[in-house]
Amino acid sequence: MKRIYVAYVGGTIGMRPGADGYEPAPGHLTGQVRGRPELNEPEVPELTIAEYEPLLDSANMRPVDWLRIARDIAERRDAFDGFVVLHGTDTMAYTASALAFLLRGLGRPVVVTGSQIPLGVLRSDGRRNLLTSVLVAARDDVREVCLVFGSRILRGCRAIKASASGFEAFESPNVAALGSAGVTIEVDGARLRTAAPAPIALPAALDAPVGLLRLYPGMPAALLEAALAAPVRGLVLEAYGAGTVPAADPEVLRVLAEGAARGVVILVVSQCVDGRVDLGAYASSGPLVRAGAVGGLDMTTEAAYAKLVVLLSEGHRADALRELLARDLAGELTP
C-alpha cells in the first residue's frame, strides 16, 4: 500500500462552523478524514496527517511558510510515496508555484488542494478534492507539484485562482491541464515532467525582498520609484500586453535606469491572462531592455513572484539570476 503524507497547513477545508462563521479548529480535519468511509476504503493509500500549528488562513501565508512546507516534505521524501498539502484557496497558486521551485528534484508527487466549503459541511467540495489529490499523489508517473481542484489536475506553477467561489476555481492559462478527474482520473503522460530525482538544497531563509507592481494608465513614476527602492532586490512588473511601459514618460525612464544601476532585477509578466511577454516586439519595451529586465514569457504572476523570491534567496549573482529567470526550471514557462 502506498503511503501518503498529508500536511494540513490551514484553510477552509478543515474549518468548522463557529459563531462568526467558519473557523480553524485543531484536530477537526483529522477527525473528519478518519470518519469518512470513502477515505478509508482499501483502494485509498495509507494516510499520515500532520496538522500545522498554528493553522493559517491562506491570506496570512508568507514566503517563510512556503519554506516550512518544503522542509517538511523534503525531510520525508524517503518515507512516503507522495505528499498532499491542504491549503486555503486565496494564495494556493502562490504556494504551489513556490513549492515547484523549492522542491525541484524531489522525484515525488506533491499535490496542493483545498476547498470552498469545509470537509464536514453539507455539499462540501473538500471530499472530492481530497480523495482525488490522494489518488494523484499515489501515482508512479507524477513527479512534480500539482494543484488539484474540482475536476482539474494542473501543474502547480501554472495555476491561477480564477473564481472566488466556484468549485472549478483554478485555471491554467497558456498551457493545458495535466489531466482531469471525471468518471476516471486521467493524466496525460506526455505533459508530465520527467526530471530525475536530485538532491534538494533549500535556502536557509526565504526572505528576499521582492515587490510586485501592476502598471496602469497615468501611474505616477513615484509609485514605480517606491517599488524599486531599497531594500527591494527584485520586482515583478505586470506590464501591458507583450511587455510595454509608458516609454514617453521621462520620469518612468529615469526611475527604471536608477533601479538598474542599483542592481534591482526586474521580471516582466503580462497583465493579459493569455499570451506571453516579448520584450523585443515593441519599441515601448526598450526601457525595460535597457534596465536589464527579464521577460517572463508566459509565466503567471504567481509563478514569477515565487520564482524571483526563491532564486534571490538562493543567493545567485545577478547574471546567473537573470539566466535562471529566463530558463524553464519547473514547467513554469514555455521557451
What residues are labeled active site? 12
Any residues with CB less than 8 A from the CB of 224 and at least 6 apart, and which? 213, 252, 255, 256
Whole-angstrom Cα distance, residue 265 to residue 89?
Answer: 29
Cell numbers found for residue 30: 483529522
DSSP 8-class letter at 298: T
Whole-angstrom Cα distance, residue 260 to residue 266?
Answer: 8
Whole-angstrom Cα distance, residue 20 to residue 156?
Answer: 32
Whole-angstrom Cα distance, residue 41 to residue 145?
Answer: 25
Q: What does the CA dihedral 66, 305, 90, 178 come to, rounded to 10 degrees? A: -90
Any residues with CB less than 8 A from the CB of 101 and at least 6 apart, and which? 157, 306, 307, 310, 311, 329, 330, 332
Which of 152, 69, 146 has its CA nearest to residue 110?
146
Cell numbers found for residue 140: 508512479
Any residues with CB less than 8 A from the CB of 303 and at least 6 apart, and which? 97, 100, 157, 158, 332, 333
- 255 touches 225 (CB < 8 A): yes
Residue 156's φ and ψ, nearest 5 degrees, are: -60, -40
